[in-house]
Amino acid sequence: MSNSSWFTEAHEASGSSIGFRTRRLLHEEKTRFQNIEIHETSDWGNLMVIDGCIMLTSRDNFLYHEMMAHPALFTHARPANVAIIGGGDCGTLREVLRHPEVGQAVQVEIDERVTRLAERYFPELCEANADPRARLLFEDGIRYMADCAPDSLDVVIVDSTDPVGPAEGLFNAAFYASCFRALGQGGILVQQSESPIAHLDLIRSMRAAMRKAGFGALHTLTFPQPCYPTGWWSCTMARKGAGLSDFREDAAQARPFATRYYNAGIHRGALSPPEFMRSLDD
């Protein structure tokens, strides 16, 4: 690749694209599940691409990983047992294990090669992989949740790719019902829910399916994410029981670890939806 090459992902649904200037292709392989590329960029560190879709860059992944982990964990009273479905780059696992209350975090990624390439090209995201509280499984997350013992988990984080291919089955009421059964009372499910600008209908359908599965309280949090379509992303929390408007704010303010985006004020602000999203439950 020449020094002036760019990797660009065109997003047909929003009529837009996002691109990064690249220096060279570091790695490419086709696994049993998908095609994975790792590029070195000029300004954004390394770039992971799966099936032509940008997954993360070294420079901005903290936004996504922190918002996938900390709002849910600071909302739960005591998040001791956590399951991460997907999340093969291990960034969400790292953030989860920053919480001293967590006794065990199981990461269930269907494609082991995502994790092995992250260990090589994004080692900073894999710092917690050797933590004795971490358990890495390489199997089907849908089957794993279906087989989970009832009331055995406090938080389930669905850190998946877009709802196509291996991830398609993670966006329906049957999967959410498995999560609901596995969570104890007051347990929280959080799932990445795409762009609020480009995918509002998907967010609405996810929330309807979560309600059908039995979840009583829902909230969609938004945050910036420059490498994803439209540059604005979201995750949706659902609770087995009532109440997502309050969180352990004092604990979030006094957290014993550093973050780059998340803080108690960001959390509080994300609980107030933009006007156009107030109709999600209509």
For the stretch 153-188, pLDDT in tens is: 999 999 986 665 555 666 788 999 999 999 999 999
pLDDT at 242: 86
Per the annotation, the verdict on 89 as an active-site residue is no
The residue count for the chain:
282
For residue 81, what are the β-bridge partners?
104
Q: Name all domains of the chain by residue range, CATH numbers in brackets.
A: 6-57 (2.30.140.10), 61-277 (3.40.50.150)
Helix (H/G/I), strand (E/B), else coil: 238: strand
Give me the residues of the chain with pLDDT under 50, please.
Answer: 1-2
Q: Which two tokens stand for residue 106?
A: 């199981």
Q: Where are the beta strands (DSSP E) in the chain?
A: 6-11, 16-30, 35-41, 46-50, 53-57, 81-86, 104-108, 134-137, 153-159, 183-192, 217-224, 232-239
Crossing angle of the two packed helices 173-182 and 200-213, in degrees rounded to 10: 50
pLDDT at 161: 67
pLDDT at 1: 43
pLDDT at 2: 47
Q: Which residue out of 60, 111, 154, 159 is catalytically annotated?
A: 159
